[in-house]
Amino acid sequence: MQDSSPNLFSYIYPAFKMWQVKRLQALLSIAGIAIGVMGFVVVVAMGLGARQEFSRAIGVLGTNTVIVNSTSSDGLPQLNSEMLFSLNKLMGKELHAMAPVQHEYRNAYINRKSKRVRLVATSSAYREVFSLAIASGRFLAPYDLRHRQRVAVLGHESAMELFATTQVSGQMLRLGNEWFTIIGVLAADKLPVMKLSGFEMPDIAHSIYVPMTVMTADAVDDLEFSQLMLKFVDDQRIPAATPLLQRVFGAGRFRQHKLEMVIPYELLIKKKQFQNMLEVFLLGISSIILAVGIAGVLNVMLVSVNTRRSEIGLRRAVGATKSDIIQQFMIEGVLLAVIGGTVGLLAGWGTGIIVASWFDLPVLFDSRTISTGFVVALLAGVVSATYPAIKAAELHPVDALRS
Amino acid sequence: MIQVRAIDKSYTLPGQKITVLKKLSLDIAEGDFVAIMGPSGTGKSTLLNLLGCLDIADSGSFILEQNTISKMDDRALAEIRNRKLGFVFQSTIFVDYLDLPDNVAIPGFYSGMSHFDGRQRAIGLLKQVGLGHRLSHLPGQLSGGESQRVAIARALFNRPRILLADEPTGNLDRRNSVEIVNMLRGLNAEGLTIVLITHDETVARAAGKIFTMQDGELKHHAGQ
């Protein structure tokens, strides 16, 4: 005896034929699922984006970084070499690296063109603080600072914008009125340009790094600077070290808002908490929209069962089992959900791009986002089709034929 | 072929129980053309539903080609309806969004036939009933007589052993009625067993055996 179970095409083909005739019914169902899936996709993409940004930032900054900034209204640097000596003396063993930083903007001249660039005057320890990788050449060395070498290290994007290559070691570059020899280029890093309250992540790829000593006429061991990056050996030491840091830098300066202490990890955690709250809020809204969508599809399917009673009776009379009828309505519901889910995924992708650009929030679309969208759509299809399918199958053939 | 013994069937409505069939017995042999007549509400359609395995009797036995129908589950009954029986109803029932070949091929969906093979067979049957020129039409575009011919084509799709027709000419004019009756006669002449329910005595005369239903009981009225 041949296999008498209908093949999948026997269910899909009539479904599409029906939707050709009953377009409004199909469109309403698809729209309900699409809106719900779109909401879910955006939330998942935002969640993944936030997590990725968080882990990248942690990967670069670490959990053990403390930044001291000059915030004096007169713009004068509030930090100096003496403070570095004191810090080294008091807590040298607890510190992995200390990098003084002074920022300045200058014009870089290349091929008769000029480009405004951000100069980071610092020491060799800067690389250790941010765990920077080198694409070519080398980073600043203690020798460069001691001997006031006019050398420069380019961020990856700076090198690409100025020279369109990273193989530029040995070339000369005019920054303002001074010429520098390029000694290296940083590798392309994935540090996100993040804004945290009170602290902007350094735009490492777009900066140019020069020895701090070439920017000033001060003695090599008597420098003034506006920022100090500290990397602790162990992040557990930071809470205990904070009062000591305040003593070294002068508690009064912090009170007078001439200095501020930033612990990026704490800010990252706060930002992540905010993003988590936003995710929960949006997830709630998406769930409500999806529930409304499911209710809409459920209603459309129930109406469909009622208007197709004689069809159900006919199918039962010519050999359909209860299970065949359940399969038919389930496949119709799931098909609508898959179509709605696909539309929702595309709409969610578009909305994600808008959210990312308007609200400056990281959004990530990958296989997890797509699979979540499809799983949500499938579940919505199954949930909304199950009851109407059972109702259709439970119709007595004689009653259905009499309709 | 069909052996019905002392079957009872009743329906429960709020506050009352209505007995439709009382200890009804009936034998139908292979190749018979049986007509069942009687006024409305006497249980003709109920009997046809039982013979068509669409419903189960409360008591008694019904054997169809050595299959004891009263002991079968949903799947086995569906198989019997699909393989052995063909139905023609008074009000033509179609899937309104499918064209004529797809409508005729519906029994093929449930016997595992491919869509292409199903359509080919359906087109052959539609040509056989004189509707070869309306293959791309939807059921809503047909006249009453044409609809009933499509219903016969569908009933014949899986080459059934028995054709059950419930007032197939009830909604037709005289000319179309004669056409449908002639078609049934022709099928019976080819060996198909037919059970026909009708009000119309002239239609019933086409059958070899005529029974009359009265108060849930069946009386042999005419024929061999």
How many angstroms away from the CA of B157 is the closest CA of chain A? 10
Pairing of strands B162-166, B85-88: parallel
User: Using an 8 Å Cβ cutoff, are A165 and A112 in contact?
Assistant: no
Tell which of B51, B87, B106, B163 to mutate to test the A interface (max A CBs under 10 Å).
B106
Tell which of B20, B104, B109, B119 to mutate to test the A interface (max A CBs under 10 Å).
B109
- Strands of B209-214's sheet, edge to edge? B85-88, B162-166, B193-197, B33-37, B209-214, B217-223
CATH number for the domain formed by residue range(s) B29-54+76-223: 3.40.50.300
Return the H-helix or E-strand segment holding B152. Answer: helix B144-155
Q: How would residue A2 be classed by pLDDT, with cut points 50, 70 and 90?
A: very low
- CA A394 – CA A268 distance, rounded (Å): 57
Chain A positions touching B112 (Cβ under 8 A) are 2-7
Stronger pLDDT, B40 or A345, i.e. the higher one: A345
Q: Give which of B148, B139, B141 is closest to B179, Cα–Cα.
A: B148
List the domain boundaries for chain B: 29-54+76-223
Hey, what amino acid is at A241?
A
**What value does the mean pLDDT take over residues A203-230?**
87
Look at residue B166 and give its three-state secondary structure: strand
Q: Do B107 and A21 touch (CB under 8 A)?
A: no
String of DSSP letters for A181-213: EEEEEEPPP-----EETTEE---GGGEEEEEGG
Chain A positions touching B87 (Cβ under 8 A) are 317-318
**What value does the mean pLDDT take over residues B118-146?**
93
Strands (E), A12-94: 65-70, 79-80
What interhelical angle do A264-307 and A23-61 show, nearest 10?
Answer: 170
Question: Above 0.90 for ipTM, yes or no?
Answer: yes
A322 in reach of chain B (CB within 8 A): yes
- CA B192 – CA B184 distance, rounded (Å): 9
- pLDDT one-digit tens code per residue, A217-238: 887 778 889 889 899 888 788 8
Q: What is the pLDDT of residue B222?
A: 61
Out of B55, B107, B112, the one facing A398 most closely (by C-beta) is B55
How many angstroms away from the CA of A307 is the closest CA of chain B? 11
Our measurement of the distance from residue B106's CA atom to the centroid of its chain's CA atoms, rounded to an integer in Å, reads: 16
Give residue ranges of B with CB < 8 Å to any A CB: 49, 52, 54-55, 74-75, 78-79, 81-83, 87, 89, 93-98, 102, 106-107, 109-112, 114-115, 154, 157-158
Burial (0-12, 13-18, 19+ Cβ within 10 Å), B36:
buried
Task: Work out the angle at residue A174's Cα, subtended by the Cα atoms of residues A169 and A178, and round it to the nearest 5 degrees.
Answer: 115
- pLDDT one-digit tens code per residue, A22-46: 888 888 888 888 988 888 888 888 8
Chain A positions touching B158 (Cβ under 8 A) are 318-319
Q: What is the pLDDT of residue A143?
A: 94
- CA A59 – CA A131 distance, rounded (Å): 9
Least confident window among A32-36, A345-349, B113-117: A32-36
Q: Do B93 and A313 touch (CB under 8 A)?
A: yes
